[in-house]
Amino acid sequence: MPITPATATHSPSNGTADAILLELVDENGVTIGTAEKLAAHQPPGQLHRAFSVFLFDEQGRLLLQQRAPGKYHSPGVWSNTCCGHPYPGEAPFAAAARRTYEELGVSPSLLAEAGTVRYNHPDPASGLVEQEYNHLFVGMVQSPPRPDPEEVGATAFVTPAELAERHAKDTFSSWFMTVLDASRPAVRELTGPSAGW
């Protein structure tokens, strides 16, 4: 893992896994405290800061990831390029770039803010709840993904039509359509009208 000021304070030095803390926020996205990751997702859920990344190739195709089957939350489902939670005090932009590299082995050649969205999505399979104030990012990727198998089960580049077909037959994360729809204006600006987003 690349060492940054945020990861340095959140990386165990003794080989044991420290509790992962999330930033709790109010309805305006102002930090009000922290909570342990799993506790923040227990029903009814605590509103916390998150991010979602949508990366596209030069043909305007969206990079999807299938979450690894061993993940405790939403295992095996398809979702956007990358999503996660900043460490307390870590900028969402920095967290988005960090996790994209950690999960997929790629650094975006372009990454831009695309607004925020607030949602409440229970996950029926796990019983966990996503109460998130989500920072959205869109960008470009120019190198092939090299996913970490503990994080990512598979990847696929899709056109809007291919996404519609896949969405009709495969299981997607409960938050996927919410974050995609909220990101669409920035996606269209990035990919242009011919890409069809």
**Tokens 């420290």 sit on residue:** 18
Q: Which residues are catalytic?
A: 83, 132
Q: Is the peptide bond before 44 cis (omega within 30 degrees of 0)?
A: yes
* CA dihedral angle for residue 75, residue 46, residue 180, residue 153, rounded to 10 degrees: -20
Strand residues in 26-159 grouped as ranges (E): 31-36, 48-56, 62-67, 78-79, 82-84, 110-122, 129-140, 152-158
Look at residues 51, 52, 50, 73 and name the one whose alpha carbon lies nearest to residue 64.
Answer: 52
User: What is the Cα–Cα distance from 55 to 63, expressed in whole angstroms?
Assistant: 6
Look at residues 2, 97, 102, 3 and name the one whose alpha carbon lies nearest to residue 51.
Answer: 97
Tell me the residue type at 109: S
